[in-house]
Amino acid sequence: MYANNPRGLQGLDRPDASPENHPTWTILIARTRDILFAVACLQQTTNPATPRKLKPALQRWHPDLEYSQLHADLQTLTHKGLLTEHPATSTYHLTDKATNFLETYTAHLQQILHPDTITLELERPVTLGDIEQTHARLVEESR
């Protein structure tokens, strides 16, 4: 690999660009990102995220994945602070850092697939009172 590899420095105007200020994007390979998605999917069910459950979930995209490689990837993700391991049950769970990474990654993909979508980040949730005040202002201004 070249020392002057610009990967991760591109702006969001390129389809293969990384979200700005999010270095996790560049340190993970596709298989490890897929593992994070598989863990997130299993966390939404009653199935715990164990290597035995993860391997079938990853077979579609990684048919040659060996258990030894899966274990190595799980350990790498644990060391990077993206997963926590519960050794007694051999289960893995996403950390807040991983959840934030997946949300950023998903939002980035959403912007590529639907570029006309506008995402707003609010300082606080919108309340019913806010909506009523805005409606009253709009009615007043339209008169």
pLDDT at 95: 93
Angle separating helix axes 30-43 and 67-79, nearest 10 degrees: 80
CA gap 35, 97 in Å, rounded: 15
pLDDT at 10: 43
Confidence of residue 4 (pLDDT cuts 50, 70, 90): very low
pLDDT at 104: 85
Residue predicted with more confidence, 56 or 10: 56
DSSP one-letter code for 19: P
What is the torsional sign of CA 43, 48, 49, 53?
negative
State phi, psi for 92 to the nearest 5 degrees.
Answer: -125, 145
Other Cβ atoms less than 10 A from the Cβ of 4: the count is 4
CA gap 114, 92 in Å, rounded: 32
Q: Which whole number is the average pLDDT over 60-70?
A: 92
Q: Domain limits of the chain?
A: 24-117
Give me 4's structure tokens.
């002057």
pTM above 0.85, yes or no: no
Domain 24-117: CATH class, spelled out: mainly alpha
Confidence of residue 98 (pLDDT cuts 50, 70, 90): very high
Residue predicted with more confidence, 76 or 115: 76
